[in-house]
Structure 1
Amino acid sequence: MSQWAQAFGVLGAVVMAAFGGANWRLPFLERYRILGLGFGLLVWVLARFDAPGFKAPQWYQSVGAAAMLLAGASGLAQAWQGRRRGDREAGDDGPSRAAGAAAYLRRYFQRGALEALDAAVEEYRAAVRATAGTGPQLLHQASLLKALRIRYERLLDRADLDEAVRLGRQARSLRGPRSHRALLLTELSTALRLRHDHTGASDDLAEARGCGEAALALLHPRQLLFPLCSSRLSAVWQSRYEHTGDPRHLDTALTRLRAALDSAAERGYARDADEIRLCYLLTRRGHGAARARDLSEAVAAGRRALARIAPTSPLYAPCLHHLSVALRTAHDASPPDPTSYRTYRIRSDHAQLEHAEDLARQALLRPAAEAPETARYHLNHALTLHALHRVQPDRGRLDQALEAARTAALHPTADVPTRVRAGLVHSDIATTENLPAQAVAALENVIELLPRLASHELERTDQEQQIARWPGIAVAAATSALEAGEPAKAAVLLEHGRGVLLSRTLALRTDLTALRAAHPELAEELAALRTQLAMAGTGPSAERLRRARRAQDERWHRLLRRIHDQPGFEDFALPPTADRLRAQGAQGPLIYLNVSAQRSDAIVVTADGIRAVP
C-alpha cells in the first residue's frame, strides 16, 4: 500500500471522526454531519484498493475502526441526551421544526399571508422546546425573536415585542458559539429599539445600545453576521439621534451602516435594505446640516438600490419612498430654518419634484391601505404635492396634498409620532395657503394625540421628554383659531394643549362627588384605580412594573369611556369646554396671552363671552 494511499486513507478517517463526533459547539460540522461522515468513510475504503489483495496494514484498520467507534459513540450520546429531554426523535425534532419555520417565513414574505407568519412563530417555539439545554437552542431562540419582531412590525402588537424582550433576556445566559450569541444579542437589541420607538422609554434604548455593541464585539468584520449586526446597531444610533437630535449620533449611525455595507461588499454581495437606509440617513444629515454632497449621495444610493430591487420585492416600496424623499429634499434651494420645521422654499426648476411625486405615488400603490408604513408614504406624497403647488400653483394638487396629509394623520395603524408629524404638516400646508379652519381641525387632532405620546408606563422624565419633542402646538392651534375668527375655540385649545402632563395629574384628582351619587360602582372602581396610578413606581422588577402600569393605563381609559357614556358625564375628567370656561369667568375675567410669529392676542373670558384683543 503506497504512502499516498495511506495518507488519503488517514485523511478519510480523520474526516470521519471529525464530522461523526461533531455537536452544537461546531455548528458547521454538525450541519453537514452525515455528508462528512459518508465522505470520510468512502475515502478510507477506496484507499484500501491500493493494497495488494485489498489487505491494508493492521494500523490502518485500527485508525478506521477508531474513527467509526468515535462517530458511533457520539451519535449514541446525542441520542441519549435527546431521550432524556423527552425528544421523541432523539434530538432531530428541533432542526426540523426550525427548517419548517424558515419555510413558513419565506412563504409569508412571498405571499404576505399572516397565517404563515403565525405558523413560523409556533414552529420556532417548538424548536426552542425541543432543543432545551443544548447548543442549538440559542440559534432557535434568536430565530424566534426575529419572527416575533417581524409579526410586531406587521401588526404593531406590543405583546410580541414584550415576549421577544423577555425571551431574549432569559436566553443571554445560554451557552453557544460566538456567532449564535451575537445573533441573539442583535435580535434582542432590535426588539428593545422598536419598543423604545413605540413607547419612548429611554432605558430600552440604552439597553439596546449595550446589546448591539456586545454583539458586534463578538464578531470580526469578515464574519458572515457582521454586516447584519453592524446595520442593526446603526439603527439603534439612528433612534438615539431621533430621540436627542444630537448630530453626532447620526454620524455614528452612518459610520456603522457604512461598515456593514463595506463588509458585505468584501464578501461579494450587496445589502439592499442597508442601501435604502443609507439613502434615508444621508437625506436626514443633508437636510439638517445643509450638505449638498450628502443629498447627492443619498439620491445616488437610492437609485442604485432601485436598479437592483425587483418590483415584486417587499423592499421596492420603501426604496421608492426614500428615493422620493431624497429627491424632494435635494430640491430644497436653501438650508432649513433651524428655528422651525415648517419652512418650504422650492426652486423654480421642478422636473426633479415631478419625478419625486411619481415615485411617491408608485410607493402608495404597493402596500395594503391598512399597512402602518402607508402613513409615511402619504405624508411624503403630501409634502411633494405641496412643493409642486408652490412652484406652479394648482388647486387640484393642493387639495390632494391636504387630503394626503389628513389621511396620514388619521391612519388607524400608524405609530403616534408619525400621525403627529402628519397632523403638523397638514396644519402647516393649510396655514401657508390661508385655510385656517383646516389648520384648526388638523391641530385639534394632534392635541388629542399628545397624551398618547406619554404613556403612564413611562417614567416621569421620559413622559416629559416625549412631550417636549413637540413644542408650540397649543400656540399654533390657538393662532389658527384666532385667524378663523373663533376666540372661544382658541381658549379651549390653549387649555387642552398646554400642560398635557398637568392635565393628566388634574384628571387623577377629579372630584367624584357627583359620580358617586349617580354611579357609586364606577366611582369606587375609578377611585381605586387612580390611587394605583398616582403611587410612585417601585418593585423588584422594572419590567413587571411597566407591564402593570400599562395594564392600569388601559383600564383607566376603558373606565373613562364607560363614564363618558353615562348621561351628564360626557365631559368628566376632560379639559374644560367653552361653557365651563365662561362659568369660571363669572368669578372674574380670565385672560390668556397667545404670542406667535403671525400675531399676538389677549383672549378675555367672562361670563358674557370670550373675545380676542389683538
Structure 2
Amino acid sequence: MAVKRGGDMAIIWLIVVLNRRITDAARGRTNRVLDTMALAKAAQLQRRIDANRASRLLAPAACTLGWFHWMRYHSLPDGSDTGELESALEWFGTAISVSARAPIPHEVRRVFTDGHLQQAQAATEILERMHHVDDQAALDHAIELLHTAVSDTPPEYPVLSAYLSHLGIALQTRFERTGSLDDLNAAVTACLKAVTMASADDTGRAAYMSNLSGALRSRFACTGNRTDLDESIINAQGAVDEASSTDPNIPAYHSNLGSALRIRFVLDSALDDLNAAVIAGQHAVSASSPNDPQIAVYLSTLSETLRTRFERTGGVADIRAAVDLSRAAVDVSTPGHPHFATSLSGLGLALRVRFEHTGALDDLNAAVTASRAAVEATPLGHSDRSDQLANLGIALRTRYERIGALGDLDEAVAASRRAVDETPSEHVDYADHQAKLGLALGLRFERKRDKADVDEAVTVNRAAVDATPPGHLNRASYLCGLSNALQMRYRHAGAMKDLDGAVTAINGAVDAARPDHPDLPRYLSALAGTLQSRFEKTGALEDLDAAVTANRTAVDGILPNHPHFAIHQYNLGVALRTRSETTGAAEDRREAALLWSRAAGSVSAPAASRLRAARACAQAIAELDGPAAAVVMYRAASELLRLLAWHGISDADRQYLLTNEAGSLAHDPAACAVTAGDLRQAIELLEQNRSVVWSQLLEARIDLTELELAHPDLASKLHRCRTVLDEPAHHDASPRLRAHAASRTGGIGIPIEDR
C-alpha cells in the first residue's frame, strides 16, 4: 500500500528524489532530468513550496529546483533551453535570498554578485506591493532598479527579456498615475524589446506579448493612433495562442484580448469583434481560480464588454449579466482589496446603464450608492480617486435629471470639480473630467441661471476639445458638450458668436461620430436645437427644415424604451410645431401632437419630460380638434403632477418643479372643459389640479409649530385648508367648493345637478 506523504515530509522526499536525478544527470545520464517523470516531480515540489513560502525548507527546495533547471538547460539542444535558464536563475535567486551560502553554480553566483538579478527581484517586489498601496516614491525606485538591471545584464542572457517586460509594466503603472506620455512611450519601447529579444521557446514570451498589448492599447487611448490598437490586438491574440496549457497567466491573456477587441468594436462597429470580446472575457473568468488576485478585474472587464453589447443590441440578458458580474466583482474583492473601489465603481456604471433601459429608480439609487462607496473606499491621493469621483458625478447628474433634486446636482458639480482638481493637467483623463464638469455646470445654470456656471461650462468644455486630437474616441462627445454650453449662453445673453460656435461644434460632433454610434441621436438632437435657434434669429427656413430632419433621425436612432426617447420625440414635435406656425402646414402640427402623446406615455422617461409633452399635446389638440378633444390629454397631464413632485425630494425642489413645469395646468384643463360646455368636468378638473398643486406645496409634513406660536388663528386656517385639499377630487364636491370653483370659471353659478 502506498504511503501518503504530507507537509515537510513530502517536500523532503521530493528534494531527495530530484537530487538523485540531478546527480545522475551530472554523471552523463541526462535523460534523468529530461523525462516526464522528472518534470512531474519538479512540478510537485514547486506547487508545495509555492503553497508554503514560509517553510524552513524553502532554501533547499529552491536550490534543488534551481539545479534541476540548470541541468536541463545544459542538457537540452541549443534554442530549446531558454526557459530553463530563466527558471534556474529564478530559483537560485530565491535560494540565496534565504541563505547566502546556498550551493549554486559559481557562474550563477557571479550573476547575482553583479547585482542585476537582485535589482530586478527587488523591483518586482515593489511592483507587487503597488497593487495594494499608491507609493509614488517606491514606484520611481522600482523603475530605477529595473533600468539598472537592464543596463547591467549581458545581451546574451535570456532573462533580459523579463527585465525589459517588467520595466515596461512599471513605466505603464507610472503613466497611469501621472499621465506622462513619455513614460507610456518608454513602456511600449521596453515591452517591444522584450518580445523581440525573446526566443520562440521562451516560456515568458506569451506574458511579454500580453504586456506589450496592454501598453499599446493605453497609448491608443491617448493618441488615437490606429496602428497601436491593431498591434495591440495582434499581440494579445499571440499571447493567447502561444501560452502553454500550464501558464498561470492565461486568464489575463484572454481578458486583455477582450479589452482590445471591445475598443476596436467601438471604433469600427464590427459585431464580430464585440462577440469575440465577450467570448474572450468569458474564457478569462472561467479559466481563473476563485483565489486568483485578478479575478475581480476579469469579472469587471467582462461586465464592461456586456454593457457595450447591450448598448449596441439591446439584449436584456447582457445588461442583467453585466450587473451580476459587477456584483460578483465587488463580492470577491471585499473592503481593503486593491480592486474593491474599482469594482464598486463598475457596479455603479452597470446599474446606471440598466436604469437607462428600464427607468427603475432603484437601480439609479443603487448606482449612486455604489459610486459614492467607491469614492469613500479610495484614499486621498490615489490615482484612481479622480475616476471614482467622475463616475459619482455622472450618477448624481443622472438622478437629478430624473427627479430634479437640487442637492444631487450640487453634489454632482462638487464631485466633478474634485475629479478635475485631483487629476494632473497633463494626465490623459484630465480632458474627460473637464468635460463631465462642464455637463454638470450646464445643468446647474439651467436651474439657477447663474452666469458664472455657464461661463465656466464653456471654458472647461472648450479646454477638453482643445486637448483632444481629431480621431479620438471622446472628441465627438466633448464637441457636443461645448455646443450645448455655447447655446445655453446664447439663449441667456444673445451673442451671435456663441450660436455660431455652437453650430460649428455640434456639426463637428456629428461628423466625428459613425452612423451607428450610440450617442449619435444625442448629437443630432443638439444639432437640431442649434439650427432651430438660428432659424429663430435669422428666419432661414432651411435651418428649420434641417432641424426637423436632424430630430427625426435622432428619434429613429434610439430604442423606444430608452429614457431619452421621449425627449427626442418632444424635441421633434417642437420643431414641427415651429414649422407649422411658419408655413401653416396642419400636418406638421398633427404629427407633433402624436409625438407628444407618445412621449407623455413613456414610462421610462422623467416625469418632467412626460408632463411637458402632455401639456404640449393637449394644447395642440385643442387648436386642431377643439377644446373638448383636449380634455383627455389634460387629465393625463394632471395625473403626472403627482409623479413630478413626489415627496422623496425637498420642499424647495417640489416648489421649483411645480412652478416651472406645471405652469397653467391648474386652470387650462378647466378652461377647455368650460369652452366645451362641460361645467361639471370643468369644476372637477379645477379642483383636482389645484388640489395636487397646493397639497404638494403645503403637504402635511411641514412643521407648523412656530406659526402656531406666533399666529394661532392663521395656523388653524392653514390646517383646515390642508384637510380640504388632501381630500381626493370627486363629483360630489362640497357646495362651498363647487360654488368657489364656479366663481373661478367666470362667475357661472348654474348648479351642477341642474345642467
Normalising by the residue count of structure 2, what TM-score does the alignment of the two structures yield?
0.53
In structure 1, how many angstroms separate the alpha carbons of the residues matched to 2:75 and 2:320?
Answer: 52
- Residue deviations 1:191-229 (CA, integer Å, cap 9, x gap): 111222234333322222222223333234443343222
Partner of 1:596: 575
Query: Would the aligned equivalents of 2:454 and 2:485 in 1 still touch at CA under 8 Å?
Result: no
**Is 2:440 the counterpart of 1:362?**
no
Identical pairs, percent:
19
**Is 2:485 the counterpart of 1:426?**
yes
Shift of 1:363: 1.5
In structure 1, how many angstroms separate the alpha carbons of the residues matched to 2:373 and 2:264?
Answer: 31
Query: Would the aligned equivalents of 2:161 and 2:195 in 1 still touch at CA under 8 Å?
Result: yes
Query: Would the aligned equivalents of 2:390 and 2:419 in 1 still touch at CA under 8 Å?
Result: yes
Judged with a 3 Å threshold, the aligned counterparts in structure 2 of structure 1 residues 16 and 230 are, in CA distance, closer, same or farther, namely farther
Which has the larger Rg?
Answer: 2
Query: Would the aligned equivalents of 1:479 and 1:594 in 2 still touch at CA under 8 Å?
Result: no
Correspondences of 1:162-181 after superposition (within 5 Å): 162-176=230-244, 177=246, 179-181=248-250
Partner of 1:451: 511
In structure 2, how many angstroms separate the alpha carbons of the residues matched to 1:174 and 1:237?
Answer: 27
Partner of 1:121: 188
Query: Would the aligned equivalents of 1:152 and 1:160 in 2 still touch at CA under 8 Å?
Result: yes
Match for residue 368 of structure 2 among 299, 303, 317 = 299
Judged with a 3 Å threshold, the aligned counterparts in structure 2 of structure 1 residues 249 and 451 are, in CA distance, closer, same or farther, namely same
In structure 2, how many angstroms separate the alpha carbons of the residues matched to 1:181 and 1:192?
Answer: 17
Match for residue 480 of structure 1 among 533, 546, 558 = 533
Letter in 2 for 1:74: R
Query: Would the aligned equivalents of 1:98 and 1:123 in 2 still touch at CA under 8 Å?
Result: yes
SS state at 2:538 partner: coil
In structure 2, how many angstroms separate the alpha carbons of the residues matched to 1:207 and 1:332?
Answer: 35
SS state at 1:331 partner: helix
In structure 2, how many angstroms separate the alpha carbons of the residues matched to 1:68 and 1:169?
Answer: 32
In structure 1, how many angstroms separate the alpha carbons of the residues matched to 2:44 and 2:450?
Answer: 63
- Residue deviations 1:58-90 (CA, integer Å, cap 9, x gap): xxxxxx9xx998555324246944678999545
In structure 2, how many angstroms separate the alpha carbons of the residues matched to 1:37 and 1:73?
Answer: 25
- Residue deviations 1:401-440 (CA, integer Å, cap 9, x gap): 3444455456533523423542564377458759595455
SS state at 1:122 partner: helix
Match for residue 13 of structure 1 among 5, 16, 28 = 16
Correspondences of 1:91-240 after superposition (within 5 Å): 91-129=158-196, 130-176=198-244, 177=246, 179-240=248-309
Query: Would the aligned equivalents of 2:11 and 2:57 in 1 still touch at CA under 8 Å?
Result: no
Query: Would the aligned equivalents of 1:440 and 1:480 in 2 still touch at CA under 8 Å?
Result: no
Letter in 2 for 1:398: V
Query: Would the aligned equivalents of 1:149 and 1:160 in 2 still touch at CA under 8 Å?
Result: yes
Query: Would the aligned equivalents of 2:216 and 2:228 in 1 still touch at CA under 8 Å?
Result: yes
Show structure 2 runs of 5+ residues with no match. 23-32, 86-153, 554-571, 584-755
Query: Would the aligned equivalents of 1:9 and 1:44 in 2 still touch at CA under 8 Å?
Result: no
Partner of 2:502: 442
- Residue deviations 1:514-551 (CA, integer Å, cap 9, x gap): xxxxxxxxxxxxxxxxxxxxxxxxxxxxxxxxxxxxxx
Match for residue 490 of structure 1 among 538, 543, 553 = 543
Correspondences of 1:306-455 after superposition (within 5 Å): 306-332=375-401, 334=403, 346-347=404-405, 350-369=406-425, 373-408=429-464, 412-413=468-469, 415-423=474-482, 425-426=484-485, 429=488, 437=496, 438-439=498-499, 441-454=501-514
Shift of 1:369: 4.6
Letter in 2 for 1:96: Y
SS state at 1:313 partner: coil
In structure 1, how many angstroms separate the alpha carbons of the residues matched to 2:295 and 2:164?
Answer: 26
Letter in 1 for 2:288: L
Shift of 1:187: 0.9
In structure 2, how many angstroms separate the alpha carbons of the residues matched to 1:199 and 1:170?
Answer: 22
In structure 2, how many angstroms separate the alpha carbons of the residues matched to 1:359 and 1:158?
Answer: 33
- Residue deviations 1:260-316 (CA, integer Å, cap 9, x gap): 222233996543222222223323333553333223322222222222323322212
Normalising by the residue count of structure 1, what TM-score does the alignment of the two structures yield?
0.63
361-370 or 158-167, which deviates more: 361-370
Query: Would the aligned equivalents of 2:442 and 2:485 in 1 still touch at CA under 8 Å?
Result: no
In structure 2, how many angstroms separate the alpha carbons of the residues matched to 1:382 and 1:69?
Answer: 63
In structure 2, how many angstroms separate the alpha carbons of the residues matched to 1:136 and 1:44?
Answer: 20
Query: Would the aligned equivalents of 1:250 and 1:281 in 2 still touch at CA under 8 Å?
Result: yes
In structure 2, how many angstroms separate the alpha carbons of the residues matched to 1:494 and 1:485?
Answer: 14
SS state at 1:599 partner: helix
Judged with a 3 Å threshold, the aligned counterparts in structure 2 of structure 1 residues 12 and 325 are, in CA distance, closer, same or farther, namely same
In structure 1, how many angstroms separate the alpha carbons of the residues matched to 2:495 and 2:457?
Answer: 16
Shift of 1:485: 2.3
Query: Would the aligned equivalents of 1:282 and 1:294 in 2 still touch at CA under 8 Å?
Result: yes
Query: Would the aligned equivalents of 1:491 and 1:603 in 2 still touch at CA under 8 Å?
Result: no
Higher relative contact order (CA 8 A, sep 6+): 1
Query: Would the aligned equivalents of 2:232 and 2:260 in 1 still touch at CA under 8 Å?
Result: yes
In structure 2, how many angstroms separate the alpha carbons of the residues matched to 1:255 and 1:247?
Answer: 13
Partner of 2:74: 76
SS state at 2:249 partner: helix
In structure 2, how many angstroms separate the alpha carbons of the residues matched to 1:309 and 1:44?
Answer: 38
Shift of 1:326: 1.9
**Greater percentage in helix:** 2
- Residue deviations 1:132-155 (CA, integer Å, cap 9, x gap): 223321112111111112222233
In structure 2, how many angstroms separate the alpha carbons of the residues matched to 1:174 and 1:446?
Answer: 46
Partner of 2:741: none
Shift of 1:487: 0.4
Show structure 1 runs of 5+ residues with no match. 46-63, 335-345, 455-461, 501-592, 605-614
